[in-house]
Chain A
């Protein structure tokens, strides 16, 4: 029998909940990091596009092909994408803060219970 199964059922449940919360937290953190990367890539592309003129040749990658596009149109699309990314980062940051607080709270509860069961 494993050591966890010798713990009181309520504590086992809380340990399971803690593991689930930690997994959720990990997913949220990696999604936020991914979006931050996308955000900095969009910013980099926008700053490059600001250095060139409207008549410059621009291509967009669509799947495995490149399609000719207009500078102004691409800038508008990227600005919209940046805005959307920023909103999603804000939402995920809030989720992360909430999940971190919940993990911390649950850890303290579990630790206190483990100490009293010594």
Chain B
């Protein structure tokens, strides 16, 4: 195997690894977007509920496009997940502050992942260009033999 062949093989392998990294990063961005959207929906729900009176009639989704009849018994407090499968009661202002902080943290993470994705894409383009040049040089070399 010539040194050029070895270099070419290494670059093709590198390109495959970079493409897998792009997939992983894109999946991660998808998860982050879904988490942000979920928190935004929670925030919208809180905004809608906080102006309702105690005892208001609501319909709660139970999946499969089905709803159960319910009544709001407390419009001042909510149960908020704090991680590790633990939830605690918080008042509406504190719950919304918590949600806002979590959205900001997720957006920060998303920006960092997007930056990583841009860097990897730059690396991919660079490697593809190098591969193209090498392939052309090899073709020219073969024609001159």
**Chain A interface residues (CB < 8 Å from chain B):** 38, 41-42, 44-45, 48-49, 52, 56-62, 66, 74, 78, 81, 114-115, 117-118
Contacts and interface: CB of A to CB of B under 8 A. Distances in A.
Nearest to B88: A58
B74 to A, nearest CB: 11
Q: How large is the interface on B (under 10, 10 to 19, 20 to 34, 35 or more residues)?
A: 10 to 19
B83 A45 contact: yes
B85 A56 contact: no
Contact of A59 (B3, B84, B86): B86
B6 A66 contact: no
A45 B89 contact: no
A49 B82 CA distance: 8
B51 interface: no
Lowest 8 A-B CB distances belong to which pairs? A48-B82, A45-B84, A41-B83, A45-B83, A61-B85, A59-B87, A57-B89, A44-B83
A57 B77 CA distance: 11
A67 B85 CA distance: 10
